[in-house]
Amino acid sequence: MLEARLEQAQLLKKVVEAIKDLVQDCNFDCNDSGIALQAMDNSHVALVSMTLKAEGFSPYRCDRNIVLGVNLTSLMKVLRAAQNEDILTLKAEDAPDSLNLVFESSSNDRISEYDLKLMDIDQEHLGIPETEYASTIAMPSAEFRRICNDLNAVSESVTIEASKEGVKFSCNGDIGNGSVTLRQHTDVEKPDTNIEIELTEPVSLTFSLKYLTNFCKASGLSTQVKICLSNEVPLLVEYNLSGSSFLRFYLAPKIGDEE
């Protein structure tokens, strides 16, 4: 059986909020190392990969592999019942037909309990190759969100160019064009505001802003975001959660005339 106690119910709430527009139904794969989720969006352009490590829970217990097939819209309805400081415990049997969620108020005078019906979801196995990226950009997640939202007002897609001078987000649209250029910036006093650019080779790729703005719903989960690029390879947008848990989004670049 699974029993996983999460001090911050809102962590799961934010994760589901960030991915429910991309994926309707998906499997949460639980084993002794934690809870993981991989799913493609309906149009098979984007891929979501989340891992919540066992260490992020206290306690965490999962004797054997359990697959929880969840409708994320229904899960979201339940998670909305979590108040800000609630502690969430997830429980499921070994061959579950429902997932049990218990919210305890920190003051302990309120307990809410929900059973969410599960479903069988065909698991298309998603091999996500480990990739050495040509460029990796770390920046404040709020800044990335701002850039995507701003450029989204001008165009449907953005070209991201990383070079040793910095990183440039640019787009062309009917009403005109726009670009934002960032250069490296480190402040030991405020590491959250750092912009770090690693580069082995210049890259220039174009992506759909609709997806990127969607990914940016996860900004609340982490002050920093990592953007990994290689030519002709899907972009990786990574939010690191506490204790080596993470939420990653992959997005195939647009090619040629699509741009």
Query: What, of a copy of itself, DNA, none, does residue 115 touch, CB below 5 to 8 Å by kind?
Result: a copy of itself
d(CA 193, CA 113): 39
Which of DNA, a copy of itself, none does residue 122 bind (CB under 5 to 8 Å by kind)? none
84 binds, among DNA, a copy of itself, none (CB under 5 to 8 A by kind): DNA
Q: Which does 194 bind (CB under 5 to 8 A by kind): a copy of itself, DNA, none?
A: none
Which residue stretch of 10-18, 87-95, 103-111, 233-241 sits at the interface with a copy of itself (rule: CB under 8 A)?
103-111
CA distance linking residue 188 with residue 91, whole number of Å: 42
Residue 152, number of CB atoms within 10 A of its CB: 20
Q: With CB cut-offs between 5 and 8 Å by kind, which of a copy of itself, DNA, none does residue 71 bind?
A: a copy of itself
Phi and psi, residue 64, nearest 5°: -135, 175
CB 138 within 8 A of CB 185: no
Q: Count Cβ neighbours within 10 Å for each residue of 206-215 and write b for 16 or more, e otherwise.
A: bbbbebbbbb
CB-CB contact of 53 with 62 (8 Å): no
H or E element at residue 58: none
Interacting positions 70-89 with a copy of itself (CB under 8 A): 71, 74, 77-78, 80-81, 83
Peptide bond into 59 cis (omega under 30): yes
Cβ–Cβ contacts within 10 Å for residue 221, how many? Answer: 21
Measured distance CA(113)–CA(106) in Å, rounded: 15
Stretch that binds a copy of itself, among 61-69, 85-93, 183-191, 233-241 (CB under 8 A): 183-191
Which among a copy of itself, DNA, none contacts residue 154 (Cβ within 5 to 8 A by kind)?
a copy of itself
Return d(Cα 67, Cα 117) in angstroms, integer. Answer: 13
Among 195, 229, 233, 251, contact with a copy of itself (rule: CB under 8 A): 195
- Could you give the string, one character per residue 205-224, with x where binding to a copy of itself holds by CB under 8 A and - elsewhere? --------------------
Binding site for DNA (CB under 7 A): 17, 20-21, 73, 76-77, 83-84, 142, 145-146, 153, 217, 219-220
Binding site for a copy of itself (CB under 8 A): 71, 74, 77-78, 80-81, 83, 98, 107, 109-117, 143, 146, 150-151, 153-154, 174-185, 195
